[in-house]
Structure 1
Amino acid sequence: MELSEADQDRISAAIKAAERKTSGEIVCVLARSSSDYMLYPVAWAVVLALVSPWLLLAFTQFPVQRILLIQLALFIVSFLLLSAPSLRAILVPRGVRRTEAHRAAMEQFMIRGLHRTENRAAVLIFVSLAEHYARIVADDGIASKVDQKIWQGAVDAVLAGARSDRLADGFVEAIEQCGAVQAVHFPPHVQQDVLPNRIFVI
């Protein structure tokens, strides 16, 4: 699922419109995946390669050199097969995927400088497609005034948009909801718009 240039322009316009009503900031990040999860294909390939010699020794009369070659070939083939994105997704436990997506959201919050705004009222809308994960990360200023549950509507909106192949619509709705919450607690004043009004695709 990709965002076209027109989609990205719509999202930028929605951020600008929302920020006109609040002194808070909104940043959006779309990740294709929160991790490459390459550890899992490697680990499974190693396990298969380590088990294979015992089976070959028990059930065949192959010489050691042939067994070592089979072991090496099995490692390479299984690693290449299990590295396919569809199979890799099956290998990674759901809890691990959610943990990685959460880590990536927090990392993006810091990388994009949301913690450096003067009133600490910035909000990150983070979506990771591979993990089917969305999170609103609010800085301390707004988080101290708004319960985390309040952001659930924005999370639901962006996830619904992703599921129905209307990702840009989901982002726009989430931006509008976040902006409305920010406007209640941080009305607009003459604060400089310090963060980019765009979506970052990583």
Structure 2
Amino acid sequence: MISSEDHVRLGNAIREVEDHTAGEIVVVVAEQASSYRSVPLLWAMLGALLTPWPLIWITNLGPSRIFLAQLLVAVFLSLFLSWPKRRFALVPRFIKHARAREAASREFLSRGLTRTRERTGVLIYIALAERYAEIIADTGIADRVGPDVWRGIIRELTGTIRDGRIGDGLVVAIQRTGAILAEHAPPRFDDIDELPNKVILQ
């Protein structure tokens, strides 16, 4: 997902911007936000529900044989659609983005961003397969910075993901986020680095 050189470059970028703010930045890059394992089952159930109607209209099959046909269709579809690429292709975009938002929220809580001293933690989350990015700020920053500011950074970041320049896009996103943090959460004389300065890959 990210080269070793970019990994080092991004860690340095986080460290540099945090020297000018009391805020904390955590970057999480996920290959895919969800496995979508329920999707083949849903399509298999839909296929099984639709199977009886053409059989009733154009054949003289009895109920037991129609039930068997339903079962076979359900088994075939669940197996056929379980291949990861097929499974992912069947997921509507709004579901992909909803799962990515849920994953970002889980990461925000699990990475300690709600436990910083002044509640100034910021998560930059990317789900590559979904081409989705989100920035979540804790209350110490979210109360001072409107959502439109984050949307501008996200828009630019998702553009670089589409162009295959994820490393460059993340560096810019980190720098722009750091500038916002420096303005609204300037460094303290007793400031400490509360969270790791590295990109977390999943």
Give TM-score, length-normalised by structure 2: 0.89
1:67-78 matches, within 5 Å, as 67-78=66-77
Gaps of 5+ in 1: none
Equivalent residue number for residue 114 of structure 1? 113
The CA RMSD over aligned residues, in Å, is 1.9
What are the superposed Cα offsets for residues 30-59 of structure 1, whole Å, 9 maximum, x if unpaired?
Answer: 112222222222111112123324433443
Equivalent residue number for residue 38 of structure 1? 37
Give TM-score, length-normalised by structure 1: 0.89
Q: Matched residues in 1 for 2:131 and 2:148: separation?
A: 19
Instruction: Give the aligned residue type for 2:73.
Output: L
Equivalent residue number for residue 83 of structure 2? 84
1:197 deviates by: 0.7
Instruction: Give the aligned residue type for 2:32.
Output: S
What are the superposed Cα offsets for residues 73-102 of structure 1, whole Å, 9 maximum, x if unpaired?
Answer: 322221222233443334323222222111
Q: Look up the SS of the partner of 2:144 in the other structure.
A: coil
Gaps of 5+ in 2: none
Compared CA separation, residues 53 and 135, structure 1 to 2 (3 A):
same
1:113-132 matches, within 5 Å, as 113-132=112-131
Q: Is the 8 A contact 1:154 1:175 kept in 2?
A: no
More displaced stretch, 24-33 vs 53-62: 53-62
Q: Is the 8 A contact 1:21 1:183 kept in 2?
A: yes
What are the superposed Cα offsets for residues 109-153 of structure 1, whole Å, 9 maximum, x if unpaired?
Answer: 001010000011111001112222111101100111111111223
- Number of positions where the alignment pairs a residue of Structure 1 with one of Structure 2: 201
| Pair 1:105-2:104 in alignment | yes
Instruction: Give the aligned residue type for 1:169.
Output: D
Q: Look up the SS of the partner of 1:115 in the other structure.
A: coil
Indicate the percent of aligned positions where both proteins have the same amino acid.
41
Which consecutive aligned stretches of 4+ in structure 1 deviate over 6 angstroms post-superposition?
none
